[in-house]
Structure 1
Amino acid sequence: MTKRPGRTPVRVLLTTSSISVEPIVACTRNSFGESTVSLGTKAPNEQSNVFPTSEVGSTLKPVILILPNVEAKPGSGRRTARHGGKFNAIGLMPPGDYAISDMIRSPYLRELTLGVAQACDEAGATLSLINGTDSSRASTIRKALVDGFILGHSADIELVSSAKRRRLPFVILESDAGADVNSIRIDGKGGALLAVEHLAALGHRRFVILSIRRTAGPPIVHMPFTAGRMITAGFQFDRQRLDGFAEGLAKVGLSIDNVPIIETTPGDPSAGAVVFDRAPEATAILTMSDWQAITVLNEAVRRGICIPERVSVVGFDGTSESARTVPPLTTIAQDIVGKGKLAAAMVLANDRPRQIVMPVKLLVRGSTAPPRS
């Protein structure tokens, strides 16, 4: 769409939605100490059986963004005294084939976007979301009316090259793209190792891994002996987490080659069903995102499976939703909002390139316990 002369960009209101499922299941113990499952009904306005009713509303947070969508022209736009940019805007592109709506649906991307938006608010700048599903996204990088970019990954060399050619500041998230490029990532391998060590210390030895599929499509099931090949594929941060899982399993005498790995898009509601159907003997589920873990909790509810009495689940990211699930999700936590703020600050400052590794920590909550004997 071509911008008319003198026209102000439209303010767009984007809202989120919670995970919606049917019955509410409560796991309790009877007088014999056995776990029992009781079904209830949800209130008409309740959207999730994993989140308590009182918490559902607090997860629906609107984000107001200004989305310019016209080609950049030399000398156009207004300058800001804060950072001297022409357009007073930052472009944010998610990792993989994510649409703009996914950036609002995904708990991780929503909090990351919030952090970037807060930094933009403080700097008096605006935020442009770039659609990751657009096949011409490299062209969008070349034309976007922004003063810098935050890229969700470095796997697409064309994207990085396009950003470099514009000679604008940019930051790559969850990848190390070299000493001449700004990057921020977490210690993904260390976090994955913590997750396995926690479950192994509880006594678990039968694992299944939920890995992230970076292209649209149904779950892909990699049964034992194919896992080693997966560690060499995918995005850099996916490989790091798989490598951490592999190291943790090796410490207790297990091989990741003997562990089923199921690739799913993070919010795929069928992920939990595939896990329970294809790896019914597993007592511990390792995931690569809280969003994946929440789909597992939802499926457990539908099947009347008690968590953690029947199976333990560990998430990854430490999103705010992970503290509100029933039971609260044990997860590998990172400062997602802080990461977004830092990325935006690095773009706005336009200083010499830095490579930052942010720490993670294990948050032990109610979704993990020793396996049943």
Structure 2
Amino acid sequence: MAQRGETTIKLKDVAKAAGVSQGTASNVFSKPEVVREEVREHVLAVAKELGYAGPSITGRLLRQGKVNAVGVAAIEPISYFFEDLWARQLMSKISEICDARGAGVALVSALNDERLSWNIQSALVDGFILLCVEGGEKLVEITRQRQLPYVALAIGAADQTVPAIGVDNVGGARLAGEHLVALGHNRFAILSTSIGEQGEGRRTPAEVQAALYSTSRDRAIGYWQALEGGGISRDSVPLFETRESQASTQAMMEQMFAGDKKPTAILAMSDKIAMWAVDWLFRNGHSVPGDVSVVGFDGVPESAVSTPKLTTVEQPIEEIARRAVEAALGGKQVEGRQVLQTKLLVRETTAPPRVK
């Protein structure tokens, strides 16, 4: 709204000064085609003289109850949406679906606790898609207060009433492990995504079972199930927690290959970790898959064009995005937990172990 001195100029002031009803003045700005040209020009001239630019678009949208936009929120910095391979792929699919529907997308960072409530409460959206909801109970609580549709893209939260879409992490990891066992591997190592807050390092099965992040725990369980089916105990398989960075992945690879009993197969809990592991192996004189086979998890586009192309467990990202956007825009809502299945994509980073 414009201001004259200390007075805020409102639509009713323009109507009074122009000698027309407030409804006519409103139509000049919102439905100009229904107002006679001379009346429209007169009202616009008075509005310009008073310094009134028009009604608040935000206010109009809120009154209508729909803004045709989806809010995507994460307990991460905004850069996460562009730098993380999985998040970037998901945002690409969400954007494609919103483009097809003529809807907008608003990114909401919930990293700063002091701004969390304001960021969620002030977002001009019809509903929310919440990423990385594990450990983000406060994000769910504040989003619920908006009383807008929302869906969480994780299954690990304790509250079973949270509408959530996720994948079968146990089943997907089991596919990866079974593939390597079938190829004849019996010396394994696991590169894990974050388990807790203690940092990188080797973790025991007991520590993994007590993991703060259920995605990492469930993928480890799936790997163990597959390996135990091949007669390989979980205690014999070293598991290294990374901080999901290149530096920590390389540090864990150094530890993994420091001993005499080097693995011939690596199960990585994300594609980016797997690709960093492959890079380390090449730079340290190991061939892939000749010396070491590697399997990732996620099925990000980069895994299909890496050298060599990565064998991975693919998430149904397009279906996840479709269901999430539908729910956030007020369409079909997610009831409880929806668990989608993954599939194994066998490419160029896995082969039978070399006979020695």
Query: The TM-score by the shorter chain falls in which range?
Result: 0.7 to 0.9
Report the number of matched residues. Answer: 293
CA deviation after TM superposition for structure 1 residue 134, in Å: 2.4
CA deviation after TM superposition for structure 1 residue 101, in Å: 1.5
Hey, what's the Cα distance between the residues in 2 that align with 1:297 and 1:188? 22
Hey, what's the Cα distance between the residues in 1 that align with 2:277 and 2:76? 21
Q: How does 1:1-373 map to 2 (within 5 A)?
A: 76=59, 78=61, 85-94=65-74, 98-136=76-114, 138-139=116-117, 140-152=119-131, 153-175=133-155, 180-213=161-194, 220-223=200-203, 226-280=204-258, 281-354=262-335, 355-373=337-355
CA deviation after TM superposition for structure 1 residue 344, in Å: 0.9
CA deviation string 1:39-95 (max 9, x = no partner): xxxxxxxxxxxxxxxxxxxxxxxxxxxxxxxxxx9x835269xxx74443222124x
The structure-2 alpha-carbon separation of the partners of 1:137 and 1:230, relative to structure 1 and needing over 3 Å to count, comes to farther
Hey, what's the Cα distance between the residues in 2 that align with 1:265 and 1:78? 42
Hey, what's the Cα distance between the residues in 1 that align with 2:233 and 2:113? 38
Percentage of pairs with the same residue: 37
CA deviation string 1:279-335 (max 9, x = no partner): 451111111111111111221232232101111100001111111111111100122
CA deviation string 1:244-264 (max 9, x = no partner): 112112212223233222222
The answer to whether the 8 A contact 1:93-1:151 is kept is yes
CA deviation string 1:159-216 (max 9, x = no partner): 1111112111101112165664322111111000011111111111221111112788
1:78 alignment partner AA: L
CA deviation string 1:131-164 (max 9, x = no partner): 2532336413233232211112243211111111
Decide which structure has greater helix share: 2
Unaligned runs of 5+ residues in structure 1 are: 6-72
CA deviation after TM superposition for structure 1 residue 352, in Å: 4.3
**TM-score of the superposed pair, with normalisation by structure 2:** 0.74
1:143 alignment partner AA: S
Unaligned runs of 5+ residues in structure 2 are: 1-7, 9-55
Aligned to 1:23: none
Point out which structure has higher relative CO (alpha carbons under 8 A, 6+ apart): 1
Secondary structure of the 1:171 match is strand
The structure-2 alpha-carbon separation of the partners of 1:227 and 1:214, relative to structure 1 and needing over 3 Å to count, comes to closer
Hey, what's the Cα distance between the residues in 2 that align with 1:77 and 1:134? 30
The answer to whether the 8 A contact 1:283-1:371 is kept is yes
Aligned to 1:26: none
